[in-house]
Structures are given as C-alpha cells and as structure tokens.
C-alpha cells in the first residue's frame, strides 16, 4: 500500500509547485506498486491532462523564467536550479542574459506564461533557437507545446527518482 504522505512528499513537486497533480493521481487509484518512472509518470500525466484549462495554465505559470530573476536571486526549486545549470544558463554573458530577459518578457506578454522547455541535453544556443521559433506559434499551439514540455520535464525528474520499467 502506498503511503499518501510519503508519496506526496516524494512526488508532489514533480510538476513544478503543483502538488495537486500527485494528489489527484493517487486519489484516482492510478498509482500502483512497484513504483517506476514510467508508471508514476503515466498517472501524473493523466491527472495533468484531466485538469481544467485554468489549472493547466496555473501549472505552466508555476514554472520559472529561464535564466530569469528567480535564478539570479537564487530562488529556484532545486530541480529547476540543477536543470538550468546543466544547460549552462547559470553562466550566461551579460549579452546572453539580456537576450533571455527580452525573450522571456516578449513570450510571457504574448502567451501569459513563461517559456518552458525540457533543457536536459540542450545548450543555451539550442534553447535560444527554440525560444525564437516558438515565440511565433499561435496561442493554442504554444499552450499544447508548453504542456508537452511540462510532461517531459516531469518524466526526466521521475527518471532521476525511480527505476525504469
């Protein structure tokens, strides 16, 4: 039997600052033992997809800007800090930081949530290229793209916490 408090403590932050995803997956009976990255991800992703549009938007908005003010102030979650550092976003030149800041502002003004991308395996140039491409998307396409990236980030986080299948 999965202990609720242990499960929520361990997986409540997999979807950035959105523990309700883990709560709903567990409450729906979608999580079973043995816990694997793929199994827990499927349950959490189903709960995320079943959430209302407003709730999904809230999950997107819970993500920090890439190389943004939370990063500069050292206020990212540990997962986000490691992910951004792994992509070199903690070592930007002043010009690169200015470019990220300008793109973050434009993107958020256009879509109403921060640019989200699973940065594992990407460098700052890859991220900038994706940023510059995706900012041209329609609101509907970008909302779906951002949700897919959130699910990818969740899977990467779960792969670090649990064995595969």
- Indicate which residues carry an active-site annotation: 63
Q: Which residue has 């709960």 as its token pair?
A: 47
For residue 128, what are its two tokens? 């900038």
DSSP letter (8 states) at residue 92:
-
For residue 62, what are its two tokens? 């819970």
Residues in the chain: 165
Q: What are phi and psi of 77, to 5 degrees?
A: -65, 160
DSSP letter (8 states) at residue 32:
-
């Amino acid at each position: 039997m999965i202990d609720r408090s242990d499960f929520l403590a361990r997986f409540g932050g997999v979807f950035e600052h959105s523990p309700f995803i883990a709560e709903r997956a567990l409450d729906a009976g979608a999580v079973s033992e043995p816990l694997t990255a793929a199994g827990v991800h499927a349950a959490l992703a189903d709960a995320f997809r079943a959430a209302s549009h407003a709730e999904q938007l809230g999950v997107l908005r819970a993500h920090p800007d890439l190389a943004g003010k939370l990063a500069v102030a050292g206020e990212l979650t540990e997962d986000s800090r490691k992910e951004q550092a792994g992509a070199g976003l903690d070592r930007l030149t002043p010009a690169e930081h200015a470019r990220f800041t300008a793109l973050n502002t434009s993107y958020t003004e256009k879509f109403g949530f921060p640019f989200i991308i699973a940065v594992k395996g990407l460098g700052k140039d890859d991220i900038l290229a994706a940023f510059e491409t995706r900012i041209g998307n329609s609101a509907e396409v970008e909302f779906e793209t951002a949700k897919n990236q959130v699910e990818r980030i969740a899977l990467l986080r779960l792969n670090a916490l649990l064995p595969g299948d």
